[in-house]
Chains A and B, each alone.
Chain A
Amino acid sequence: MSISKVVSGVEEACSGVEDGMTLMLGGFGLCGIPENCIEQLVKLGVKEVTCISNNAGIDGFGLGKLLSGHQIRKMISSYVGENEEFERQMLSGELEVDLIPQGSLAERCRAGGAGIPAFYTPAGYGTEVAEGKEVREFNGKPHILESALTADFAFVKAWKGDVAGNLIFKATARNFNPMMAMAGKITIAEVEELVPVGELDPNEIHTPGIFVQRIFQGLSFEKRIEQRTVRPLNSPS
Chain B
Amino acid sequence: MLDKNGIATRIAQEVRDGWYVNLGIGIPTLVANHIQKGMEVEFQSENGILGMGPFPIEGSEDADLINAGKQTITAMPGAVYFDSATSFAMIRGRHVQLTVLGAMEVSSNGDIANWKIPGKMVKGMGGAMDLVASADNIVVAMMHTNRAGESKLLPTCSLPLTGVGCVKRVVTNLAVLDIKDGAFHLIERAPGVSVQEIIDATAGELIVPSDVPEMTL
B126 touches A28 (CB 8 A): no
- The answer to whether the Cβ of A40 comes within 8 Å of any Cβ in the partner chain is no
Cβ B58 vs Cβ A87 within 8 A: no
In the complex formed, the residue of A with least CB distance to B29 is A229
Are B85 and A230 in contact (CB-based, < 8 A)?
Answer: no
Give the distance in Å from the alpha carbon of A206 to the alpha carbon of B72 in the complex: 23
* Stretch from A6-14, A175-183, A210-218 that touches the partner: A175-183
Q: Is the CB of B64 within 8 A of A31?
A: yes
Cβ-closest chain B residue relative to A223: B63
Q: Most chain-B CB neighbours within 10 Å: which of A102, A125, A178, A231?
A: A102
For the complex, is A21 an interface residue (Cβ under 8 Å from B)?
Answer: no
* CB of B97 within 8 Å of the partner chain: no
Within 8 A of B (CB), among A176-215: 176-179, 206
Q: Given A223-B63, A226-B66, A227-B66, answer yes or no on A125-B164 (Cβ-Cβ < 8 Å).
A: yes
Nearest CB on B from A136, distance (A): 14
User: In chain B, residues 53-109, which have Cβ atoms closer than 8 Å to a Cβ of chain A?
Assistant: 53-59, 61-75, 81-85, 87-88, 91-92
Would you give the shortest CB distance from B187 to chain A, in whole angstroms? 26
Instruction: Indicate if A134 sits at the interface (CB-CB under 8 A).
Output: no
Segment at the interface with B among A42-50, A63-71, A74-82, A147-155:
A74-82
A84 to chain B, nearest CB (A): 12
Q: Choose among A30, A110, A122, A231 the residue that contacts B92 (Cβ–Cβ < 8 A).
A: A122
**Do residues A122 and B133 form an inter-chain contact, with CB atoms below 8 A?**
yes
- Distance, CA A127 to CA B69, complexed state (A): 23
Give the total of B residues in contact with A, Cβ under 8 Å: 56
Least Cβ distance of A94 to chain B in Å?
A: 14
Give the bracket for the number of chain A residues in contact with chain B: 35 or more
A80 and B126 CA atoms in complex are apart in Å by 9
B58 and A230 within 8 A (CB)? yes
Chain A contacts for B162, CB-based, 8 A? 127
| A225 engages B72 (CB within 8 Å) | yes
A102 touches B126 (CB 8 A): yes
Considering the chains assembled together, what is the distance between the CA atoms of A200 and B168 in angstroms? 48
Q: Are B47 and A172 touching (Cβ within 8 A)?
A: yes
Counting CB contacts under 8 A, is B160 at the interface? yes
B204 contacts chain A at the CB level, 8 A cutoff: no
- Take A123-B133, A125-B133, A227-B69 as given contacts and tell me if A79 and B125 are in contact as well, using a CB distance cutoff of 8 Å: yes
Q: 13 A-B residue contacts at CB 8 Å?
A: A30-B70, A31-B63, A102-B130, A122-B92, A123-B129, A126-B164, A127-B162, A169-B81, A170-B64, A171-B64, A172-B65, A174-B82, A223-B64
Q: CB within 8 Å of B: which residues of A?
A: 28-32, 54, 77-81, 87, 90-91, 97, 99, 101-107, 109-110, 121-129, 159, 169-179, 206, 223-233, 235, 237
Return the 9 tightest CB-CB contacts between A and B, nearest first.
A103-B88, A103-B130, A126-B164, A81-B123, A106-B84, A223-B63, A101-B129, A79-B124, A102-B127
